[in-house]
Amino acid sequence: MIAIIIEAAENFLHNQIELTTKKTDTLSQMRTVVASIEVKMDDGEIKSVFLGYNEELIKEIVSVYLMEDDADEQTMIDMALESTNMIVGSAKVLAEEAEKEHFMITTPKFEKIEDFNCCECSEYSILQTAKEGLVIAIRG
């Protein structure tokens, strides 16, 4: 599942935000806006997907979508939730088109703003950009 979410996140960052990405193993200890979304697989299994946006990245996303150069905390949270919905929703479509996994998603929720720790997740990946990074993690 993580591969399809990575693909969707890369598409989002490249096509919408115009940032290039590369995978890295280095988890930045920077202030991170963390959002989560529950995914229910066809077999009934429920997984939690966490997306952690470093502050510089989420401010760039806010700048692109809202044309605001100085985003406040609530705006960063709202944009993290919306971006999480777009990325995981896109992953759902990509999976269905490839006739891979089928799943339903819930409404994203805000988790926290702090250094991202891998939340006892079974899978994770980090996409590095010129505007810091995006952590994708799955528990379940």
CATH value at residue 78 = 3.40.1550.10
pLDDT at 28: 66
Tokens of 99: 């006739």
State the total domains in the chain: 1
Residue 130's pLDDT band, with cuts at 50, 70 and 90, is confident
Q: Mean per-residue pLDDT for 70-89?
A: 96
pLDDT at 101: 81
Return the amino acid letter for 132: E
Which one has a higher pLDDT value, 25 or 93?
93
pTM: 0.93
The whole-chain average pLDDT of the chain stands at: 91
Q: What domain range includes position 107?
A: 2-139
Residue 132's pLDDT band, with cuts at 50, 70 and 90, is confident
* Structural contact between residues 104 and 40, judged by C-beta atoms closer than 8 angstroms: yes
Percentage of the chain lying above the pLDDT 70 cut: 96
Percentage of the chain lying above the pLDDT 90 cut: 74
Q: Report whether pLDDT(86) > 60.
A: yes
Give the pLDDT confidence of 6-33 residue by residue, as tens digits. 999 999 999 999 999 999 877 666 778 9
Q: Report whether pLDDT(106) > 90.
A: yes
Q: Which one, of 115, 125, 138, lies nearest residue 24 by Cα?
A: 125
